[in-house]
Amino acid sequence: MRRFLILTWSACMALWAPAPAAAQPSFDRPGGDYTSMVERSGDPAACAARCDREPRCRAWSFVYPGAAGQNAVCWLKSQVPARAENSCCVSGVKGAGVQEPRRGRDGATEFGIDRYGGDYRNFDTQPDPNGAACKAACEAENRCRAWTYVRPGYLGTGSGARCYLKDRLRPPRRKPCCVSGVVR
């Protein structure tokens, strides 16, 4: 009986324990700003780490380059405003870090990955946090084996979103600029 009570208590505690916080890609947290700075690395994880180091910071928003100017910007907040869906940004609360999914729900989309090289064609495309148009273009061409979508602003001042279709598979490289995938 004692063992049953201990197991029951343990199960209840596990269910009531708060889930670890995580950053929210494609969400902004408007308001509560006390400072902002250009994030030269273009990496939302650097913004999250900056918030973790600042005693006053309670939440943060990272704006991708090109979404509201030519540079990536980190906004630190003295409160935790409600989140608002917006593909311009990644946001989170202090201690959340950035955990963009490594793979999309389809199992083939790789977030924060560049498959550098092997390009046979590239073109401008509409901004999309998942690179869906780039993936569709690759699936439509038999020659295409992989693709990389580069978010707006990462290829230089005023640059838009760009899609690279690849006829060779290259090893993945972690880069916050990109979303990639392997088709065949």
- Residue 105: per-residue pLDDT: 58
Is the pTM higher than 0.75? The answer reads: no
What domains are defined for the chain? Answer: 21-93 (3.50.4.10), 109-182 (3.50.4.10)
DSSP state of 67: T
Pair 48, 92: CB distance under 8 Å: yes
Give residues with Cβ within 8 angstroms of 18, minimum separation 6: none
Q: Which residue bears the tokens 């910007």?
A: 73
Strand ranges for the chain from DSSP E: 24-28, 33-38, 59-63, 73-77, 84-93, 109-114, 119-125, 146-150, 161-166, 173-182
- Residue 40: per-residue pLDDT: 87
Pair 50, 77: CB distance under 8 Å: no
pLDDT per residue as tens, the chain (184 positions): 555 444 444 444 333 333 344 678 888 999 999 999 999 888 888 999 999 999 999 999 999 888 777 789 999 999 999 999 988 888 999 987 665 555 555 667 898 899 999 999 999 999 888 899 999 999 999 999 999 999 888 887 778 899 999 999 989 998 889 999 999 8
- Residue 5: per-residue pLDDT: 43
